[in-house]
Structure 1
Amino acid sequence: MMKAYRSNGEAIVLSVDQRVDSLPDDVFWLDLNSPTREEDLYAERLTGIDVPTRQDLRDIEPSSRLYSTNGTTYLTGSLICHADSAQPVLADVAFVLTASRLVTVRYDDPRSFTLFAHAAGRLQGELRNPALTLTRLLETITDRTAEILEQAEVKSDSLLVRIFGDGGEGKKRRAAGTLEGLLVEIAHHHRLISKVRDSLVSLARLNSFLGGVPAVQNCSEAHALSSSIGRDIQSLAEHANFISGNLSFMLDASLGLINVEQNAIIKIFSIASVVFLPPTLVASVYGMNFVHMPELQWMMGYPASLLLMVFSAVIPYLFFRWKGWL
């Protein structure tokens, strides 16, 4: 799908079946969302530039992702998508900065593009400079990344409470599999933070390259905004590292608590075996088949041996309670 955004806030949906010969002069942004090959060729005819294809976006060579040629700047960045779902992904997005407008090519739907499209409609002609349009879009992408990190921090706090409890004095034994389930949630959460960190690295490289583009340097507002975005990206990267460190701590803590739970179970079996060891010894002694055993002829021998076994089991139990091992 192809959308052209005009300075008056109007969005025009372009179709290859109803072709126009040229774009209106006040179109400041042409957005290609999952374009077909026919739409790529149509956009090239309208803009006079080479529109990056899906294969071009997958190129990981730095020299192929950020470059300028014939007055046109091509930038490719990796943006976080589907951050609110269980399967966040990185989507490669191409930003093409021409002398008259901004062209974007993407094969996914980052929420920041929808937010910018709504904001652009309210600006009503303030985005006449393509360089300013691009920096405004990058600002929206950065703000959306900050929102994702804020939500991730809230989720991290929730996981921390579920791991260690709410601080109450009463200790409740967790149901079987609770900590194991938390490990899975921590792994999913860590995957999101890893994607965000990769996206921030890509945005930092893109914004650094953009700051040296003449079109941005010649626009004071765009240049100042690009510098501000660079500082924001650096702050967000540090915050993402902090959250990642917390997740590593929670992972280690969960594994430690699982070991504690397992050790508690093993301790119960160990104590039980020690408690029943003396009665077993008594029963073994009187289970031997020797002829000369005086107690065998004693009328009270049987109840006395039972009492001896009970007494020999109670003594270790009381000792363990006194030591605080139970």
Structure 2
Amino acid sequence: MTAKQPELMRAVGHADELQQAGWLRLSAGQHEQLRAAHSQHGVDLSIIRGRAATEEGDFIIIPLELVIHQEQQYLETSVLFALSKDVLISVEKDVHLNALEQASQQLLETRLAGRPLDPAGMLFTLLEVLNDSAHAAIREISARLDERSEIVAIASGGFEMSKRQAGVADIAGTAIALGEAEELVAKTVEGQLMLARAGRWLRRVAGEARFEQSLPMLLSDIQSLRRYARFQHDKIRNLQQSLMTTMDIKQNQVVKVFTVVTAVFTPPTLVASFYGQNFAHMPELELPWGEWMVMGLTGLFALMPLLYIKRKGWMR
């Protein structure tokens, strides 16, 4: 027996215990089990069925789309809940959600302690755990944003820690990362809206008195996290705007450098082109100091636009 076999056997045993309590946990890849559940309960459990919550017979179908931080990466996934008075069916899309595994442990402990379990109560626990998982994901995104904020501040100041000029390529890399973070946060906000909708459907099915205190608290937590996620979204927008402004300034600086160089070297270029022409007679060439005179005038003509630019403050 391998090391993973006892763990797998325990997981199967836990699933059987919870299935007896009324929770049938499936994944989108279990086609035979999905067909059997469809045949037994008469409900379509296809994970690809849109975002609307619907009623089918005795069941309330509630789809959720989530952003989770699992195994050191962010995953966009979805889960479908089908709730009736007798059974709760969950269908996970493409990953095994650790949050649902954590919820199954809590429900199993509740069942082993002799406390009753029913489908509505189990869905309430699942929504709580999923909200906590979303909270953990948005906290992780917020920590990454704080790191990006420092990078943006350094780039806006002009230099990185290595004291080299922060270029457009450095800023562009940060902008791409911020764009990815913005998409994750936006999907998190949408996921919180779907969680809140699931809580309202649960209240409708179970009745107002069933979760009189706990469900309003859960809905308040979901709304608070949604506001926090929107705050992070606004922070990303501000960082993106700051980056775009910094990029424009740096591009203007590059253009300014070339403009100054062009202004400085244009008069000497004109002088050189003048003496490159074939004139029959050039009197200054016969003077002993004629060459030095031309060189001095060339340097003077080069310094004059440079002094003018510096006086205007265009060098800053």
TM-score by shorter chain over 0.5: yes
Q: What pairs up with 1:1-326 in 2 under 5 angstroms? A: 11-12=13-14, 27-34=21-28, 36-43=30-37, 49-54=41-46, 57-60=47-50, 62=52, 65-67=53-55, 69-70=57-58, 72-81=59-68, 88-99=75-86, 101-108=87-94, 109-123=96-110, 124-126=113-115, 128-165=117-154, 172=163, 173-175=165-167, 177-213=169-205, 215-219=206-210, 222-291=211-280, 293-326=282-315
What is the identity percentage for the equivalent residue pairs of Structure 1 and Structure 2?
23
User: Which amino acid in structure 1 is aligned with residue 177 of structure 2?
Assistant: E
Unpaired stretches in structure 1, ≥5 consecutive residues? 1-8, 15-22
How far residue 187 of structure 1 moved from its aligned partner, in angstroms, is 1.4
Contact kept, 8 Å, 1:33 with 1:105, in 2: the verdict is: yes
Aligned pairs, number: 299
Q: 1:148 to 1:106 in 2, by over 3 A?
A: same
User: Which amino acid in structure 1 is aligned with residue 176 of structure 2?
Assistant: V
User: Which amino acid in structure 1 is aligned with residue 49 of structure 2?
Assistant: D
How far residue 85 of structure 1 moved from its aligned partner, in angstroms, is 6.4
Decide which moves more: 186-195 or 222-231: 222-231
Higher helix share: 2
Query: What's 2:7 paired with?
Result: none
Hey, what's the Cα distance between the residues in 1 that align with 2:13 and 2:23?
Answer: 10
Unpaired stretches in structure 2, ≥5 consecutive residues? 1-10
Contact kept, 8 Å, 2:99 with 2:133, in 1: the verdict is: yes
Hey, what's the Cα distance between the residues in 2 that align with 1:322 and 1:207?
Answer: 68
User: Which amino acid in structure 1 is aligned with residue 54 of structure 2?
Assistant: L
The CA deviation string for residues 166-202 of structure 1, in whole angstroms up to 9 with x for no partner, is: 9989774114511111111011111111211221122
The CA deviation string for residues 209-229 of structure 1, in whole angstroms up to 9 with x for no partner, is: 22111x34352xx34222112
TM-score, length of structure 1 as denominator length = 0.79
Contact kept, 8 Å, 1:44 with 1:50, in 2: the verdict is: yes
Q: 1:83 to 1:166 in 2, by over 3 A?
A: farther
Q: 1:69 to 1:43 in 2, by over 3 A?
A: closer
Q: 1:24 to 1:188 in 2, by over 3 A?
A: closer
TM-score, length of structure 2 as denominator length = 0.81
- For the aligned residues, what is the CA RMSD? 3.1
Query: What's 1:20 paired with?
Result: none
Hey, what's the Cα distance between the residues in 2 that align with 1:180 and 1:24?
Answer: 50
